[in-house]
Structure 1
Amino acid sequence: MIGTHNGTFHCDEALAVFLLRQTATYRDADLTRTRDPKLLDTCDIVVDVGAVYDPEKLRFDHHQREFDGVFGHGYITKLSSAGLIYKHYGKEIISNHLSLSPEDPKVETLWLKLYKEYIEAIDGVDNGVQQYPPEIPPKYRNGTGVSARVGWLNPAWNESVDSKSVDTRFEKASKLVGEEFLSRLEYYGNAWLPARELVQNGLDARSSVSPSGHIILFEHFCPWKEHLFDLEKELSVPEDQKPIYVVYPDETAGNWRIQAVPMSPDSFVSRKPLPEPWRGVRDDALSQVSGIPGGIFVHASGFIGGNQTQAGALEMARQALTM
């Protein structure tokens, strides 16, 4: 039996209950929603109520004055019941859902990724942790996040409902936030993580593309920016050996792209933009000014360009390094 509080529900305990139901122990567990201590004492595990955080006793509340638990690994946002359950059971859930060994290093990578991309925001919203200093007013209101969507499933203040109907709404909220979690997990496990492996391979093989190691070649397109910066940090790649250009096939047109590596994953400033004489030039004019056949375009800012062939895109990268 899983226990949590009754009345108005929130995203954190809705997700916590869903996550517990993804474990072998609580997969078929019933749910009791109450604040009665005697009833909670009959539950096998209790989340978001009871004023106790004690993993050995299977009590996971975060509302007590002295509670200051965080996820760790560089994250400092105070945990909600969602973060608490994820911290203790997340690896089991990931390994079960993706059929991975618990010792597989991919489980640790995905555990950290899911906290960063999904769980931490739920912790922050539930605990009232602001994303930015309060003196900076937001330019617009965003009520579309999953915490807000769960909140809208509660009955209106002037709506007549009984506890059974609210419990039914809670189950709907738990399914909503939980299925979104699983969707993220499947994407990161089946798409994001394989891209990381391709970037790792390209980073390892870059000296065979260019002796300087400043050019990475991908035989298949993949989202590479986040992975490249993470791997550079993990591998302590020296500044003078970091990639400057990435060459990869266009996703749809069958052509090839050359892209300048930005200063950071979200930056519009490149480590070394493509040469100024090429910028804003297209097709035959680009081939003439660069001396490289098959030119398609170079963006006016110099962050990206295109060529009809892999050999042409690689030659653009090699020439750009020297200009």
Structure 2
Amino acid sequence: MSASSLEGALDPPAKKLKLEEEGRKVIGTHNGTFHCDEALAVFLLKRTEAYGNADLTRTRDPAVLDTCSIVVDVGGVYDEAKQRFDHHQRGFEEVFGHGFTTKLSSAGLVYKHFGKEIIANRLRSSLDDAKVETLWLKLYKEYIEGIDGIDNGVSQYPTDIKPKYRVRTDVSSRVGFLNPAWNEPFDSTTVDAKFLQASSLVGEEFLSRLDYYGNAWLPARNLVAEALGRRQEADPSGKIILFEQFLPWKEHLFDLEANLAISESSQPIYVLYPDETAGNWRVQAVPAASDSFQSRKALPEVWRGLRDDILSEKSGIQGCIFVHASGFIGGNKTKEGALEMAKQALSM
């Protein structure tokens, strides 16, 4: 079977073995039909110091695999010391840990052992930087675990609920569709080229997710943590959080409350932030749970569905714009007005 770098050069096995003798490293995986997990595993390995310049061999020949520096998704062995990362063998039940229980595929195995290095390299941070650990767990939850679950045939739901429609736009499906069709050429050169295309597709999407979480999600989390820590400045009760800019806060707030073990009696009730476009301010009730339409304490019933001057007159607060009919959110023209709405709502 041929060997190749991720840049697409395809070399015969003899050349690959010669490269090994010269000190060049080789990543091994199986040939034939490919899947999302080994396509991502290879991409990730190419982002490590050890295998950044490695070539790629796609084969099922045990003799050739034995000469590879690292082997993923083939070979029937999981042994970090030997750099063997397969998950198909009987008795394999490895999981990511940290509360995750989905059995790992080759993508999850490589990410578990090399993910922090890859993230640190991308962020130009040290491995012991706290944000590396945070993003390592976040990327597993949001991206890698789904690939592990699909490849291992782990149902997303614990029951046999029949879905109302099919989803075939996930990254595992998109990688699968890159395999040649039954009536298209299936020679090694064609399939190897398709594999490199698949590896790039899933890998670039991984990097895009990492960049988003590192550059947008994590900074928002830090701002929520800061505002949560100084919430008594907005109101001595600590029940009101004030953000000076719009940002996604719900997911972070619930995570931080759990991490900090904030008791139910001390949890914030209302969040204030400027409107994204109009320059007005919003006061929003914190949901009872992250996915709930119920609020910890909705805005007063007597305000709900009212607008502008009528609402200002009813509440005695100048600059009111609206309160939603369900009471989960309201608006005011100024920060001071929104803060007064939240303070009054607490006592009503």
**TM-score bin, normalised by smaller chain:** over 0.9
SS at match of 1:248: strand
Asked whether 1:65 is paired with 2:90, we answer yes
Alignment-derived partner of residue 117 in structure 1 = 142
Structure 1 residues 179-221: Cα deviation after superposition (integer angstroms, max 9, x where no partner):
0000000000000000011001110000111111100000111
Structure 2 residue ranges without an equivalent (≥5): 1-25
Alignment-derived partner of residue 246 in structure 1 = 271
**Cα shift at 1:150:** 0.2
Q: 1:288 aligns with which of 291, 313, 320?
A: 313
- Hey, what's the Cα distance between the residues in 2 that align with 1:290 and 1:283? 11
- Equivalent pairs, count: 323
Alignment-derived partner of residue 229 in structure 2 = 204
- Hey, what's the Cα distance between the residues in 1 that align with 2:240 and 2:94? 43
Asked whether 1:269 is paired with 2:294, we answer yes
Structure 1 residues 45-98: Cα deviation after superposition (integer angstroms, max 9, x where no partner):
000000000000000000001100000000000000000000000000000001
- What is the TM-score normalised by the length of structure 1? 0.99
Q: Percent identity?
A: 72
- Farther off after superposition, 279-288 or 51-60: 279-288
Asked whether 1:88 is paired with 2:113, we answer yes
SS at match of 2:109: helix
- Hey, what's the Cα distance between the residues in 1 that align with 2:221 and 2:204? 24
Q: How does 1:1-323 map to 2 (within 5 A)?
A: 1-323=26-348
User: What is the RMSD computed on CA atoms of the aligned residues?
Assistant: 0.7
4+ residue runs over 2 A deviation: none
- What is the TM-score normalised by the length of structure 2? 0.92
Structure 1 residue ranges without an equivalent (≥5): none
**Cα shift at 1:134:** 4.1
- Hey, what's the Cα distance between the residues in 2 that align with 1:35 and 1:313? 66
- Hey, what's the Cα distance between the residues in 2 that align with 1:87 and 1:248? 38
**Which AA in structure 2 matches 1:195?**
A
SS at match of 1:67: coil
- Hey, what's the Cα distance between the residues in 2 that align with 1:28 and 1:257? 52
**Which AA in structure 1 matches 2:73?**
D
**Cα shift at 1:28:** 1.6
**Cα shift at 1:133:** 3.0
- Hey, what's the Cα distance between the residues in 2 that align with 1:284 and 1:144? 48
SS at match of 2:272: strand
Structure 1 residues 90-126: Cα deviation after superposition (integer angstroms, max 9, x where no partner):
0000000011111101000000000000000000000
Structure 1 residues 127-163: Cα deviation after superposition (integer angstroms, max 9, x where no partner):
0000113421111100000000000000001212311
- Hey, what's the Cα distance between the residues in 2 that align with 1:264 and 1:21? 40
